[in-house]
C-alpha cells in the first residue's frame, strides 16, 4: 500500500499554483483504505492499554457487596477519606510538641491474616487527630494501645512511651499510618495521614551586633530554593537595598533591639531572630578648677557612671588621659572626645576659667597745647571686670624702669626729646599675681608751620604756599586738592612750595583748597597734618 504523502506528491507534481479543495477531495476518494489487520497493527499499543484498564474499572464500579463475593478483603466502613489520600486543603497543622526520638527502629508491617467474608468492620478512634500537615520530619501524637496493631509505611520510624507515638520520617512526603485490631469477627480500624513538609532554611548575618547610638547595621539573608522573606524591627528604621540586603539605621535609644526575619515556602514558615545591642552613652560628670593668676594651673576631672566601657579621654585632639584627670591647663575652651565601648565617641566642650586673671591696659593722650605733656588713662581689668569695681588691684607706673606713680591714673610732662617706655604694673593685693603693660612714647620739640592763605599775584609777598619744619623730616609728602576733591598739586620736598598753578601751567582759580601733609621725625614718630588754605590773587 502506497504512503499517502507519496500519493499527494505524485498527484500534485504537475500543479504550479495552489490546487483547489476539489483536487484534494478526489485524491482522498481514490486513496486505498487499510485492512483490519493493518489498522490493528498500527494501533496495537492502544488496544493493550484498553484491555488493562477495563478490568480495573469494572472492579471499582461494581457495588461493594459484589466485590466481596469476588474476592473478600478488608474495607474500612463509614469513612471514605480513610481509603483515599486527602486533598491538601483537608490538612491541618498539628501543634503538639515534637519529642526527641531516640534509637528509632523500623517497623515491619505484619502480613494480614486470611480474611473471612463474614467479618464486620468497625471504626476505631485511637489516633484522635485528623489527617495532619506538619513542618519538619518529626511529630508526636497521642496513642494508648499496643504497637502490634499498627501498620507503618516504609520511610517512617517511631518510638512509643507515655501514651504517645513519636514519628520521624526519612524524607518529606505523605505517610499513611493504619491501626487495625481484630476481635473475634470484628475488625477495628483507624487511619491517619501525616504530611511532612520541608521547613525553609536560610541564614542571616549582621555586619555588627554591638553598635553606638546613631550607627548603621547591614543585614544579609542567604537561602536556598524559592522563598519569600519578611524582615521586621522596632525602634529603628529599616530599608531594603536589594533582594537579600537590608540597611538598619536610626538607632537612637540604647538597649537590645530585635530583628525578626521570617521565610515561607507557601506551606511552612521559619523565623530567625537576631539581636543588636545599642550601647548606652556614658553619663559624664565634669569638675574644673580655674587657672589661678594665669599660671597654667587649671585642672579638669571627668568621671562616668559606666566607666568600665570608657577607653580614654582626649582634650583638643592632643592631650590623652585614661583616668579622666587633666592638670596644668591654661584658661580657655577645650574640645573633649570620649572613646567608649566598640569605638563609640562622645563629644563635648570644656571651659577652664581664669581666676584672678589680670589684664592691665592704658592709653596715652597728648596735651593739645603742650606736645611734651601726656595723660595716661587706666583701663585695666580683673576677671573681666573693671578694676574700679573691685578694690583688689594696686598699680605702679614706671617710665624707663623708674617708679613715678602709684595712682590709678596719672599725667606726666617729658622735659627732653627722646624715646620713653611707659609701663603699668598691676598686682592683686595680698598675692603674688601680677601683670604689666607698656608702650613707647617719642618726644620731639620740632613742629610743622603751615600758612592758611597765600596770594600768587607776583607782588613778591606770599606768592607761594610753603610748609616749614624746625627739625629734620623724613618721608615727606604733600597733596593739595580743590573743593571737588581733585588733586591740583603734589610734592615730596618740604623745600618746594606751590605757586598757585595747576600742573605748573594753568593758574588755579581763587577759593578754598585742602592739604594733607605726612612724614616722620628723627625718632620715627609719624607726622600727619590736615587743613585748609585760601588762595587769593588781589
pLDDT (tens digit per residue) in 252-263: 888 999 999 998
| Residue that terminates a domain, selected from 198, 214, 247 | 198
| Gap between the Cα atoms of 218 and 239, Å rounded | 10
Would you say residue 493 lies in a domain? yes
Would you say residue 14 lies in a domain? no
More confident residue, 298 or 68: 298
Would you say residue 302 lies in a domain? yes
User: Could you tell me if 40 and 189 lie in one domain?
Assistant: yes
Instruction: Work out the average pLDDT over 182-189.
Output: 88
User: Could you tell me if 122 and 238 lie in one domain?
Assistant: no
- Give the C-alpha distances (Å, rounded to integers) separating 305 from 283, 284, 310, 498: 6, 7, 10, 84
Q: State the pLDDT at residue 496.
A: 93
Whether residue 129 is predicted with pLDDT greater than 60 in this model: the reply is yes
Q: State the pLDDT at residue 4.
A: 54
Per-range mean pLDDT, top range of 45-49, 126-130, 204-208, 294-298 = 204-208
Q: State the pLDDT at residue 179.
A: 93
Q: What is the span of the domain harbouring residue 305?
A: 284-344
Whether residue 265 is predicted with pLDDT greater than 90 in this model: the reply is no
Whether residue 110 is predicted with pLDDT greater than 50 in this model: the reply is no
More confident residue, 354 or 225: 354
Which residues, 6 or more positions from 277, have their beta carbon under 8 angstroms from its beta carbon?
209, 210, 211, 255, 256, 257
- Digit-coded pLDDT (tens) for 458-475: 888 889 999 998 888 999
Would you say residue 475 lies in a domain? yes
Range with lowest mean pLDDT among 11-25, 226-240, 338-352: 11-25
- Digit-coded pLDDT (tens) for 295-318: 888 999 999 887 778 889 999 999
Q: State the pLDDT at residue 195.
A: 94
Whether residue 3 is predicted with pLDDT greater than 70 in this model: the reply is no
User: Could you tell me if 116 and 263 lie in one domain?
Assistant: no
> Which of 421, 423, 471 minimizes the C-alpha distance to 444?
471
- Digit-coded pLDDT (tens) for 383-399: 888 888 778 899 999 99
CATH no. for residue 235? 2.60.40.2410
Whether residue 185 is predicted with pLDDT greater than 90 in this model: the reply is no
Beta carbons of 249 and 218 less than 8 angstroms apart: no
User: Could you tell me if 221 and 118 lie in one domain?
Assistant: no
Whether residue 77 is predicted with pLDDT greater than 50 in this model: the reply is no
Would you say residue 409 lies in a domain? yes
User: Could you tell me if 35 and 164 lie in one domain?
Assistant: yes
User: Could you tell me if 40 and 124 lie in one domain?
Assistant: yes
Would you say residue 222 lies in a domain? yes
Mean pLDDT of the chain: 81
Per-range mean pLDDT, top range of 50-54, 128-132, 331-335 = 331-335
| Residue that terminates a domain, selected from 176, 198, 220 | 198
pLDDT above 90: percentage of residues in the chain:
46
Q: Kindly write down the DSSP assignment for every residue of 458-491, as one continuous string.
A: SSSSS-SB--EESS--EEEEEEEE-TTS-EEEEE
Half-sphere exposure of 309 (CA within 13 A, CB side): 20
Beta carbons of 360 and 377 less than 8 angstroms apart: no
| Residue that terminates a domain, selected from 252, 278, 304 | 278
- Digit-coded pLDDT (tens) for 409-450: 999 999 988 889 999 999 998 888 899 999 998 887 777 889
- Digit-coded pLDDT (tens) for 474-507: 999 999 999 999 999 999 999 999 999 997 788 9
Beta carbons of 182 and 113 less than 8 angstroms apart: yes
Beta carbons of 153 and 167 less than 8 angstroms apart: no
Q: State the pLDDT at residue 96.
A: 37
For residue 50, what pLDDT band results from cuts at 50, 70 and 90?
Answer: low
User: Could you tell me if 40 and 162 lie in one domain?
Assistant: yes
Which residues, 6 or more positions from 135, have their beta carbon under 8 angstroms from its beta carbon?
93, 197, 198, 199, 267, 268, 269, 270
Q: Count of residues for the chain?
A: 538
More confident residue, 62 or 218: 218
- Give the C-alpha distances (Å, rounded to integers) separating 478 from 31, 474, 503, 519, 531: 135, 12, 14, 9, 11
| pTM value surpassing 0.75 | no
Q: State the pLDDT at residue 65.
A: 42
Instruction: Work out the average pLDDT over 35-39.
Output: 59
| Gap between the Cα atoms of 228 and 81, Å rounded | 33
Q: State the pLDDT at residue 108.
A: 43
Range with lowest mean pLDDT among 28-32, 132-136, 508-512: 28-32
Grid cell listed for 337? 572626645
User: Could you tell me if 231 and 320 lie in one domain?
Assistant: no
- Digit-coded pLDDT (tens) for 349-378: 999 988 888 899 999 998 888 878 999 999
Beta carbons of 333 and 408 less than 8 angstroms apart: no
User: Could you tell me if 421 and 464 lie in one domain?
Assistant: no
Total number of domains in the chain: 5
Instruction: Work out the average pLDDT over 234-239.
Output: 90
Which residues, 6 or more positions from 403, have their beta carbon under 8 angstroms from its beta carbon?
396, 397
User: Could you tell me if 135 and 154 lie in one domain?
Assistant: yes
Per-range mean pLDDT, top range of 66-75, 141-150, 340-349, 366-375 = 141-150
Range with lowest mean pLDDT among 35-44, 181-190, 431-440: 35-44
Q: Kindly write down the DSSP assignment for every residue of 117-145, as one continuous string.
A: TT-EEEE---S-S-SEEEESSEEEEE--S
pLDDT above 70: percentage of residues in the chain:
78
Whether residue 209 is predicted with pLDDT greater than 80 in this model: the reply is yes
Range with lowest mean pLDDT among 24-33, 152-161, 330-339: 24-33
Which residues, 6 or more positions from 197, have their beta carbon under 8 angstroms from its beta carbon?
133, 134, 135, 136, 172, 267, 268
Q: State the pLDDT at residue 73.
A: 32
> Which of 429, 426, 326 minimizes the C-alpha distance to 381?
426
Instruction: Work out the average pLDDT over 26-31.
Output: 55
User: Could you tell me if 511 and 395 lie in one domain?
Assistant: no
In whole angstroms, what separates CA 125 from the centre of its chain?
61
| Gap between the Cα atoms of 519 and 524, Å rounded | 9
Does an H or E element contain 67, and which? helix 64-70
| Residue 509: DSSP 8-state | P
User: Could you tell me if 288 and 381 lie in one domain?
Assistant: no
Beta carbons of 303 and 321 less than 8 angstroms apart: no
Grid cell listed for 478? 604733600
Amino acid at each position: 500500500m502506497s504512503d499517502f504523502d507519496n500519493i499527494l506528491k505524485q498527484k500534485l507534481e504537475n500543479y504550479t499554483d495552489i490546487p483547489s479543495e476539489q483536487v484534494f477531495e478526489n485524491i482522498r476518494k481514490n486513496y486505498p483504505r487499510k485492512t483490519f489487520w493493518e489498522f490493528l497493527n498500527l494501533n496495537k499499543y492502544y488496544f493493550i492499554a484498553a484491555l488493562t484498564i477495563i478490568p480495573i474499572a469494572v472492579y471499582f464500579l461494581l457495588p461493594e457487596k459484589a466485590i466481596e463475593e469476588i474476592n473478600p478483603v478488608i474495607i474500612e466502613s463509614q469513612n471514605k477519606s480513610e481509603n483515599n489520600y486527602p486533598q491538601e486543603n483537608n490538612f491541618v497543622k498539628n501543634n503538639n510538641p515534637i519529642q526527641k526520638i531516640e534509637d528509632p527502629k523500623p517497623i515491619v508491617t505484619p502480613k494480614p491474616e486470611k480474611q473471612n467474608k463474614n467479618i464486620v468492620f468497625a471504626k476505631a478512634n485511637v489516633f484522635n487527630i485528623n489527617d495532619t500537615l506538619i513542618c519538619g520530619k518529626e511529630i508526636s501524637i497521642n496513642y494508648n494501645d499496643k504497637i502490634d496493631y499498627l501498620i507503618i509505611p516504609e520511610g517512617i520510624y517511631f518510638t512509643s512511651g507515655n501514651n504517645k507515638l513519636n514519628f520521624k520520617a526519612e524524607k518529606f512526603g505523605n505517610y499513611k499510618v493504619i491501626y487495625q485490631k481484630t476481635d473475634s469477627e470484628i475488625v477495628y480500624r483507624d487511619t491517619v495521614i501525616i504530611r511532612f513538609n520541608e521547613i525553609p532554611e536560610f541564614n542571616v548575618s549582621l555586619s555588627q551586633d554591638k553598635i553606638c547610638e546613631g550607627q548603621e547595621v547591614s543585614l544579609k539573608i542567604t537561602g536556598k530554593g524559592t522563598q519569600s522573606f519578611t524582615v521586621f524591627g522596632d525602634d529603628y528604621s529599616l530599608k531594603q537595598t536589594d533582594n537579600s540586603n537590608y540597611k538598619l539605621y536610626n538607632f537612637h535609644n540604647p538597649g537590645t533591639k530585635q530583628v525578626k526575619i521570617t521565610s515561607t515556602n507557601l506551606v511552612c514558615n521559619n523565623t530567625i531572630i537576631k539581636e543588636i545591642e545599642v550601647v548606652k552613652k556614658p553619663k559624664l560628670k565634669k569638675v574644673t578648677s580655674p587657672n589661678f593668676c594665669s599660671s597654667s594651673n587649671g585642672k579638669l576631672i571627668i568621671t562616668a557612671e559606666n566607666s568600665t566601657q570608657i577607653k580614654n579621654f582626649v582634650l583638643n585632639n592632643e592631650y590623652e588621659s585614661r583616668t579622666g584627670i587633666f592638670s596644668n591647663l591654661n584658661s580657655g575652651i577645650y574640645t573633649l572626645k570620649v572613646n567608649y565601648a566598640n569605638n563609640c565617641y562622645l563629644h563635648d566642650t570644656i571651659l577652664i576659667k581664669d581666676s584672678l586673671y589680670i589684664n592691665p591696659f592704658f592709653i596715652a593722650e597728648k596735651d593739645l597745647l603742650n606736645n611734651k605733656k601726656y595723660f595716661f588713662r587706666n583701663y585695666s581689668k580683673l576677671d573681666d571686670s573693671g578694676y574700679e569695681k573691685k578694690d583688689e588691684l594696686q598699680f605702679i607706673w614706671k617710665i624707663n624702669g623708674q617708679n613715678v606713680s602709684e595712682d590709678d591714673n596719672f599725667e606726666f610732662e617729658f622735659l627732653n626729646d627722646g624715646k620713653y617706655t611707659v609701663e603699668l604694673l598691676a598686682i592683686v593685693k595680698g598675692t603674688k599675681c601680677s601683670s604689666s603693660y607698656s608702650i613707647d612714647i617719642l618726644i620731639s620739640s620740632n613742629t610743622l608751620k603751615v600758612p592758611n592763605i597765600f596770594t600768587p599775584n607776583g607782588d613778591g609777598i606770599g606768592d607761594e604756599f610753603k610748609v616749614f619744619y624746625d627739625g629734620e623730616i623724613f618721608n615727606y609728602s604733600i597733596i593739595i586738592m580743590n573743593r571737588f576733591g581733585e588733586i591740583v598739586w603734589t610734592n615730596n620736598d618740604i623745600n618746594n612750595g606751590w605757586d598757585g598753578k595747576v600742573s605748573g601751567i594753568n593758574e588755579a582759580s581763587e577759593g578754598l583748597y585742602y592739604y594733607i601733609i605726612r612724614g616722620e621725625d628723627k625718632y620715627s614718630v609719624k607726622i600727619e597734618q590736615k587743613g585748609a588754605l585760601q588762595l587769593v590773587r588781589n
